[in-house]
């Protein structure tokens, strides 16, 4: 599927700023938080992307430990709340992992967002060999586009994503990643969420 990619950097920046304003708005929580740990394999790049997914849920959230060290609060593997919800892709910094910003993810899910915290192979905890390379700069933004496509096609998640409200944010290198290339955005979306362009990917759910 060929897609014409035409989104300016200022629009990307405004999207990030708009989402930041929401984070500081103190919106009253409306949902419990659900959690799933997923993996998707990109056949084109031979790259498996771990995705920690937080989302609005009707399940009862309870204390939950992520990766054995992060004390959170969510309902694991619970059903996603009915309807379509905005999607936010969360990118960690260099040497980080998908659980680093779990507190932000839980907050957003509690307020109605689906949050996909991705993990960048080669630039993550205990696997940092691509740091400082062109390969890393090439793959990081493509990990975001691939994850959006994979989640949108997933039978358990895709029908709950509002395709007109998709954003990306992150910490350090993860904050820069969504703006590295403007072509990961879809024309026509409404701020404060970033519009996202669907890229042409071959992907499958990984059970590795």
- The domains of the chain are located at 9-205
User: If you count them, how many residues does the chain have?
Assistant: 208
pTM of the model: 0.75
Give the pLDDT of residue 179: 72
State the fold for domain 9-205. Rossmann fold (3.40.50)
Per-residue pLDDT tens listing for the chain (208 residues): 222 233 333 333 334 434 544 444 444 558 999 999 999 999 999 999 999 999 999 899 999 999 999 999 999 999 999 999 999 999 998 888 999 999 999 999 999 999 999 999 998 888 877 788 888 788 889 999 999 999 999 999 999 999 999 989 888 877 777 776 544 444 443 323 333 333 334 434 544 4
């Amino acid at each position: 599927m060929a897609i014409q990619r035409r989104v300016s950097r200022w629009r990307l920046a405004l999207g990030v700023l708009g989402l930041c304003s929401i984070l500081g708005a103190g919106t009253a929580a409306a949902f419990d938080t659900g959690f799933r740990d997923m993996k998707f394999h990109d056949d084109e790049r031979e790259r498996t992307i771990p995705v920690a997914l937080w989302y609005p849920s009707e399940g009862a959230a309870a204390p939950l430990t992520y990766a054995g060290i992060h004390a959170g609060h969510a309902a694991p593997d619970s059903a996603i709340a009915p309807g379509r919800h905005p999607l936010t892709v969360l990118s960690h910094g260099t040497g980080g992992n998908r659980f680093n910003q779990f507190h932000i993810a839980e907050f957003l899910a509690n307020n109605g967002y689906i949050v996909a915290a991705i993990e960048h192979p080669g630039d993550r905890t205990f696997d940092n060999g691509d740091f400082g390379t062109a390969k890393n700069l090439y793959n990081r933004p493509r990990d975001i586009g691939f994850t959006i496509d994979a989640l949108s096609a997933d039978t358990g998640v895709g029908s709950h994503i509002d395709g007109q409200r998709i954003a990306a944010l992150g910490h350090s290198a993860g904050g820069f990643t969504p703006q590295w290339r403007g072509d990961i955005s879809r024309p026509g979306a409404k701020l404060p969420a970033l519009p996202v362009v669907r890229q042409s990917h071959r992907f499958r759910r990984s059970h590795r």
